[in-house]
Amino acid sequence: MTQPTPQTAAQAENLSFLGRLALAISAFFAILTNPQLAARFSALRLAPQGEVTSAPVAPPAAPTPAPAPAPLKVANSDAALQLLALFQREARLIDFTQENLSSYSDADVGAAARVVHEGCSKVLREHFTLVPVRAEAEGARITLSAGFDAQAVRLTGNVVGQPPFNCSLSHRGWRATEVRLPKLATGHDASVLAQAEVEL
């Protein structure tokens, strides 16, 4: 705390009534809004007459740091491209989705979808082990307690209040417990999902 100089102390002693009134009003609001200043003023009032003491002022509390956001993981694009290439090779998935189906009949589209379905199922069976997130049958009534895994269970419908929730299981979900993608050779261009075919 800065000690008053003789000049400023003399000016304070010679304050007029209006000056003291203005000082009192500003001190009133300052004390209301500043706990440290209020503590120093209280110590000054309790000091013996003519003795000015300063109340120990606690250092300002360090601001609580905001929790750091969870670091984001960078997805491995090669693995995603490799999986897309497998779906193309076994099920012609890219060909199917890029085709304009408006000129085909429903029967033709259904026949093509059956081929795509069989090929996609083969890729999933060979390269993934998949299990349901929930073991109950779809349509069963279940209870979600507080602290349930929000990454594994998504609430739908009229979500109000706090858990526990008594609800109906509309989809069991899927979880991959094992991934078995082939290893890529060094220098392999994973962005080529299907080679162009050129007939000689």
Residues 97, 36, single domain; the answer is no
Question: How many domains, the chain?
Answer: 2
11 part of a folded domain: no
Residues 164, 126, single domain; the answer is yes
Q: Is 37 exposed, middle or buried (0-12, 13-18, 19+ CB in 10 A)?
A: middle
151 part of a folded domain: yes
Residues 33, 82, single domain; the answer is no
**Mean pLDDT, residues 14-20 taken together:** 66
- Percentage of the chain surpassing pLDDT 90? 55
Alpha carbon distance 2, 9 (integer Å):
12
Q: For 91-146, how does the pLDDT look when each residue is reduced to its tens digit (9 = 90+)?
A: 999 999 999 999 999 999 999 999 999 999 999 999 999 999 999 999 999 999 99
Alpha carbon distance 111, 116 (integer Å):
9
Q: What is the pLDDT of residue 184?
A: 87
188 part of a folded domain: no
Q: Is 149 exposed, middle or buried (0-12, 13-18, 19+ CB in 10 A)?
A: exposed
Residues 37, 81, single domain; the answer is no
Q: Which residues does 64 contact at the CB level (< 8 Å), separation at least 6? A: none
Q: What is the pLDDT of residue 29?
A: 64
12 part of a folded domain: no
Residues 88, 126, single domain; the answer is yes
129 part of a folded domain: yes
CB 77 within 8 A of CB 85: no
Residues 114, 168, single domain; the answer is yes
**Mean pLDDT, residues 74-88 taken together:** 91
82 part of a folded domain: yes
143 part of a folded domain: yes
Residues 47, 102, single domain; the answer is no
13 part of a folded domain: no
Distances (CA, A) of 156 to 44, 55, 132: 62, 58, 18
Distances (CA, A) of 117 to 90, 128, 173: 10, 16, 19
Residues 84, 163, single domain; the answer is yes
Q: For 30-50, how does the pLDDT look when each residue is reduced to its tens digit (9 = 90+)?
A: 776 777 777 777 777 676 655
What confidence tier does 66 reach under pLDDT thresholds 50, 70, 90? confident
Residues 34, 82, single domain; the answer is no
What confidence tier does 56 reach under pLDDT thresholds 50, 70, 90? low
Q: What is the pLDDT of residue 67?
A: 78
CB 155 within 8 A of CB 135: no
What confidence tier does 21 reach under pLDDT thresholds 50, 70, 90? low
Residues 151, 87, single domain; the answer is yes
Residues 48, 133, single domain; the answer is no
Q: Write out the DSSP string of 55-101.
A: PPPPPPPPPPPPPPPPPPPPP-HHHHHHHHHHHHHHH-HHHHHHS-G
Q: What is the pLDDT of residue 127?
A: 96
Q: What is the pLDDT of residue 134?
A: 96
User: By residue range, what is the domain housing residue 49?
Assistant: 22-56
**Mean pLDDT, residues 39-66 taken together:** 66
Mean residue pLDDT of the chain comes to 83
Residues 95, 30, single domain; the answer is no
Alpha carbon distance 173, 193 (integer Å):
28
Q: What is the largest CA-CA distance in the chain?
A: 111
Alpha carbon distance 159, 152 (integer Å):
17
